[in-house]
Structure 1
């Protein structure tokens, strides 16, 4: 049975716009897959697309770029699933970016998005939509095919000078890494993480959806049995973050994840990642990247570090219980 979760509601809001009828052979260049929908009566699945024209994905998140588009320019089209395979001149992803949230992953994607040769898709909702569909009973082989087609559609070249493509997933997608890698088995995977108390303090200030019970499909965010008091959001955040650390460890140990600690940013981008992926920015582009690194990755304002957090013994206790998982990743990285 399909259950509607918080992110599905967000997708419905983003799917508002002037309806364009699909027809066989329709040119979908400039259109981006947003979500997979199921007709309540027929049971048939369709893909909802948004037309972005030539608007570039330069915002902190995929949904921010869609929200920035003027209302009068928003066009929506619903197509059969097979239309995902109709786009050509698409780049396969150079890397997948996984993370624990509030750990510098948005900074990394914003630095890459500053380069005109890079297509950067930051948490595109079509991936979560397909994974929810998978957990609601869709065939695994079909899911892998659709994920591959959808990610290629996200990498469509529109300006002719794009040569690299990066996809950053939502943090809970580390639990689906094995499935996602089957869509592109040779694609390198990065995993960004940070000292637990800093992550928890950030979510205490402004909680992400994964840190609010009931917002995500439970199969996407497996948690151990617990007896947390109702409303104990800090305790719940600790369980979620512990699960993310734990999920990454076997993949990192097997050499399937390149680990990056928050403390290595932004320097590692310039000292390692650009050359690792064969990106050779001009001097002007490097300067633009360094300037972009001086503003808040999510909000675009001057960045002077995280706000000072008052002493919180309960948060420190939760973070202390997460230290073994964090230290295990550090040991693998170092």
Structure 2
């Protein structure tokens, strides 16, 4: 029925088909839509395997403990999962049918299928080239991308879920978002910047997945947020469950953003302090050229032929977040955003940890991260 509906092109055709399917032809269009809207508000009890591969969960509503579902319209090609979901929800069928199920059902149901295993993770400090890297990865026909999935973020932000529940949910929610695209078996997940603060939970859940940690000169990162602030740099109170650094405590906006960025950088530093690992790579924004990107993709098990290399090279010429626009380098412009005093403040608090990340310096015996880097909070 869904396949047949998706082949129809007008609202009237879809509505007529659905009325026939539900044996409701005697109802007026308005009455039928009203009935469907009532169904859309209910929490349905549907087996995991029946949803898997057909419907895609795209939102977690904490207040009701429910998942919102839509029909996917092809794999993600947009810079962010939010953009992909926006495209999906424009389809006629997704306007009419908006099913919901409880998160609890996904948590407790037994699952008799092999869950989708990611081939690579991208962690980053934000504005470090992560969207560029994920945009290049999706040029491979075998790769699908979850780029800052709002569903995964909202589950990690729900402090009513304990770590064990989150650890059980993450693989299932990843699986449900990947399963509709079996012709793209390699899944790369780009996490949100603040998900770095849940490294231990994510790593314990997916211990074998190779990871890239992306960093950038902190002045350039903060200059980008000065132009357009990300969620974690905006003072969003919902972020406070992640870490005390997101409680602004009356700080000025620049001091707050310095503290947040420092917290993310020290979290990365702590990961590298856990010892050498062949599946964790630190990459700077300045290193993101065609050669490094191909090397990263190959480390995730991908074969890069000449045609794919050409597509990646072409993608590098475009704006990562707005692919319809050409890429224009603006590093020098970013270094002119802050005055001399502000730049000195940024460098004083952030350059030591930025340099330590690159040099992979070890802490002295008995020394804490806070002592090494003059941590704000």
TM-score by length of 2: 0.74
Q: Which runs of 5+ in 2 are unaligned?
A: 1-36, 362-377
- Secondary structure at 2:187 match in 1: strand
Aligned counterpart, 1:8:
none
Partner of 1:264: 287
Contact 2:57 2:67 in 1 (8 A): yes
The answer as to whether partners of 1:197 and 1:319 remain within 8 angstroms in 2 is yes
Structure number with the bigger relative contact order (C-alpha 8 A, sep ≥ 6) is 1
Deviation at 1:270, TM superposition (A): 4.2
Displacement of 1:304: 1.6
Corresponding position of 1:292: 315
Q: Report Cα offsets for 1:158-187 as digits up to 9, x if no partner.
A: 2x4323111111101100010111221211
For 1:312, the equivalent position in structure 2 comes to: 339
> Is the Cα–Cα contact under 8 Å of residues 91 and 164 in structure 1 kept in the other structure?
no
The alpha-carbon distance between structure 1 residues 306 and 215, as it changes in their structure 2 partners (threshold 3 A), is farther
1:218-237 correspondence to structure 2 within 5 Å: 218-223=240-245, 228-229=250-251, 232-237=252-257
Partners of 1:88 and 1:156 within 8 A in 2: no
SS of structure 2 residue aligned to 1:216: helix
Per the alignment, in what secondary structure is the counterpart of residue 245 of structure 2?
coil
Matches within 5 A, 1:192-203: 192-203=214-225
Is structure 2 residue 90 aligned with structure 1 residue 100?
no
Sort the Cα spacing of 1:330 and 1:111 in 2 relative to 1 into closer, same or farther, 3 A: same
Question: Does residue 19 of structure 1 match 2:40?
Answer: yes
2:66 corresponds in structure 1 to 46
How many Å apart are 1:281 and its aligned residue? 2.7
Q: Decide which moves more: 21-30 or 199-208.
A: 21-30
**Structure 2: how far apart are the matches of 1:87 and 1:291?**
42
Following superposition of structure 1 onto structure 2, how do residues 1-334 of structure 1 map, counting pairs within 5 Å?
Answer: 19=40, 22-25=44-47, 26-38=50-62, 45-52=65-72, 54-69=73-88, 70=90, 72-74=92-94, 75-81=97-103, 82-83=105-106, 88=113, 91-133=116-158, 135-136=159-160, 138-158=161-181, 160-223=182-245, 228-229=250-251, 232-254=252-274, 255=276, 257-300=280-323, 301-306=325-330, 308-309=333-334, 310=336, 312-320=339-347, 321-332=349-360
- C-alpha displacement at 1:226, in angstroms? 7.4
Residues 34 and 49 in structure 1, CA contact (< 8 A), matched pair in contact too: yes
Regions of 4+ moved over 6 Å: 224-227
Unaligned runs of 5+ in 1: 1-15
Provide the residue aligned with 1:11 in structure 2: none
SS state at 1:19 partner: helix
Deviations 1:198-218 (A, max 9, x none): 101111111111111134321
Greater CA drift, 285-294 or 99-108: 285-294
Q: RMSD across aligned C-alpha pairs, in angstroms?
A: 2.6
* Cα distance change on mapping 1:331 and 1:83 into 2, 3 Å: same
Q: TM-score w.r.t. structure 1 length?
A: 0.83
Structure having the higher Rg: 2
> What secondary structure sits across from 1:245 in the alignment?
helix
Asked if structure 1 preserves the Cα contact closer than 8 Å seen for 2:124 and 2:196, the reply is yes
Deviation at 1:36, TM superposition (A): 2.9
Shift of 1:299: 0.8
